[in-house]
Amino acid sequence: MEALTKKQKEVLDYIVQKIEEKGVAPSYREIAKRFRLRSLATVALHVRALIRKGCLAREKWRARGLTPTGYASPTPGSLIPVPLLSGFLPAGPTQELSEEVEKTLFIDRYLLKGSGRDCFAMKVRGISMTGAGIEDGDMVVAKRQQFADPRNLVIALKDGEVTLKRFIPQDGGVLLKAENPQAQSYFIPLKADDQRVKGIIGKVIKVIKDVKP
């Protein structure tokens, strides 16, 4: 493979990063903004060079269809059906959890870190988790489980209502911590014989950023 220039390597790394974060390659305009390039034509030159050097492939008939070589494109066997639950997941005050499915998403198994069909997705509303990089309008994918490791992002029930928070074990209980100093955290006391926190619904395994036009 032909050697990359420093700038080409930076552009390639950025494309891979955005695919990991959003599940889709960045637009030319986003690349130009990231590297302070004045012209989209300059971005196109870098992309064509990366394609010519075998680092990128372009998928026809697909918007933002750039795929790094070695990063498997989704195939029918690799796509996992994930139910998107209706309503919103509060990153702020709690609300009741809806189990009604709005639609089914098909997400590459690679992006779900190997998790199987025990996943669900919810749209986020609120600003309590901005410190964790989760903004209002983003979507989270969670694996259904009733336990969590320290500092995992979890979807949990508090007084029968659902919330998105960080899981922080403490003496006498667990703190469901907001990642915004202006938002409320919740402490759940535990009895000495409790083996696990009651109310954890799932562990967040993927954040899909709200893609702006």
Q: Are 128 and 91 in contact (CB under 8 A)?
A: yes
- Of 18, 27, 123, 165, catalytic: 165
What gap in Å lies between CA 100 and CA 106, rounded to an integer?
17
**Residue 73 annotated to the active site:** no
**Residue 177 annotated to the active site:** no
Give the DSSP H or E segment for 176: strand 173-177
Find the farthest-apart pair of alpha carbons in the chain and give their distance in angstroms, rounded.
64
At 202, list the tokens.
């799932």
Range 129-162 burial, b when 16+ CB lie within 10 A, else e = bbebebebebbbbbbeeeebeeebbbbbbeeeeb
- Of 18, 27, 123, 128, catalytic: 128
Closest CA to 208 of 87, 123, 92: 123
What gap in Å lies between CA 185 and CA 128, rounded to an integer?
9
Which residues are the active-site residues?
128, 165
